[in-house]
Structure 1
């Protein structure tokens, strides 16, 4: 049987390649696939710290494309409050409950996106209060699973950001929130035991970022998204069923 941490390394390479290409997805994909063999709470400090390294590099490189007004006035306030709330709730939940809830969340998101893509439906108008509520829910998901990307992308679907600005703004969000989570993991003692794993995965992260940067400019994003959403649907079902 494959070593669980080697399996997680393969998941990290796939997931961080995708995020370098699209601006989100690294933790939700690595966590959902890795959770088939490892506890969520053991993986979170590793994946969050790696995401800080990647999103820091991409934020600096793409800094000219970040929509600072949208980031500071709408996204970060709701996400930060929700993230702190979700992190505070996480010690009260068992790993089985976390896996089941996470499985249902990613399955809902992936199936919804596949249905929308298949019907070629444009995003409808969403009232500002609903968008703020959705962003807060994304923050809670991020505090629990470090995976607020699916809900945040859903909340921002009606914005007029183009592909490049959307990616740049999202990676800045993850840099901000995951830096806070990394400090929280340091404070509660869960970061130190994860450091050897973090160091061993940095080369995979570097290769994944370089590959994702090339794919961002050369490969149709929709083809990758369809494959990833199918993979997430299956993984979410497995997590919900096995939890």
Structure 2
């Protein structure tokens, strides 16, 4: 039952209601599951959300911006695969917690304009670098939103193009993660069975997120979410270090 609100939230974010926070379901689930189980459970659901969302934003993306990030993500995914093969599970719990807390800091800094907006667009080399960051953070905890945003925000995309480009990037990145996840044994019969039960909530969350994207203010909702995410991330870090 704990997974249902987490999946609904991720779906709402994928639908455009605070899309950068769609990874938040993974830290929440990591409180009750092993890190590998948490990311393995979420990937098939995120892929269903991607398909649902991509129909809503079809061909409204900037293909060049998306392509640079997608190509750059590949070495990051490869690095994540190698790290997972050698690291203790508590290392991944620590990394998930670290990304969660880092995300909250990034969001707060961005909202208070502590991170200056670049005065010129980033070039392809910078885009490939941030794409690699997308790959590694996405592999660890489906948290590629912030590094993707660092690059995309320099492109001065309008709201619709930005959201559509983000949807396309993570549709491709999530597909790219299937084989590596299978190779390192992240998927299991239990996670795939749970995915079947949670599938309707994934689709419902995306549709609800699209509606909320146009109708509802995000400020209070995500303010509370960031508090829970900071607490969750801190707890994961503490548990990993204690172990």
Normalised to the residue count of structure 2, the TM-score between the two structures is 0.86
Evaluate the alpha carbon distance shift between residue 36 and residue 213 of structure 1 in structure 2; reply closer, same or farther with a 3 A threshold.
same
The structure-2 alpha-carbon separation of the partners of 1:231 and 1:154, relative to structure 1 and needing over 3 Å to count, comes to: farther
- Deviation track 1:12-41 (CA, whole Å, cap 9, x = no partner) reads 112221221244432x20111111111110
Is 1:103 matched up with 2:100?
A: no
Cα offset, 1:121, TM superposition:
6.2
Separation in structure 2 between the aligned mates of residue 153 and residue 104 of structure 1, nearest angstrom? 18
User: 1:93: how far off?
Assistant: 1.4
Q: Is the CA contact 1:31–1:43 (under 8 Å) kept in the aligned structure 2?
A: yes
1:139 is displaced (CA, Å) by 1.2
**How many pairs align?**
236
Q: Of residues 54, 57, 60 in structure 2, which corresponds to 1:62?
A: 57
SS at match of 1:158: helix
After TM superposition, the score normalised by the length of structure 1 is 0.86
Q: Is the 8 A contact 1:24 1:171 kept in 2?
A: no
Instruction: State the alpha-carbon separation in 2 of the partners of residues 235 and 222 from structure 1.
Output: 20
Is contact 2:76-2:136 (8 Å) kept? yes
User: Is the partner of 1:242 in helix, strand or coil?
Assistant: helix
Residue 238 (structure 1) aligns with: 235
1:146 maps onto 2:145 in alignment: no
For the residues of structure 1 that align with 2:14 and 2:161, how far apart are their CA atoms? 14
* Distance verdict in 2 for CA 1:237–1:220, change over 3 Å: same
The answer for the alignment partner of 1:30 in structure 2 is 25
> Given the alignment, which residue of 153, 156, 175 partners 1:157?
153
Deviations along 1:183-237, whole A, 9 cap, x unmatched? 3334555435122111000111122112111101112344444333333222221
Residues 1:192 and 1:101: Cα distance change in structure 2 (over 3 Å): closer
Please name the residue that 2:180 is paired with: 184
RMSD: 2.2
Could you say which residue in structure 2 is the equivalent of 1:3? none
Q: Report matched runs for 1:203-222 at 5 Å.
A: 203-222=200-219
Asked whether the equivalents of residues 16 and 25 of structure 1 are also in contact (C-alpha less than 8 Å), the reply is: no
Where structure 1 has 5 or more consecutive residues not aligned to the other structure, the ranges are 1-5
Comparing 126-135 with 174-183, which one deviates more in the overlay? 126-135
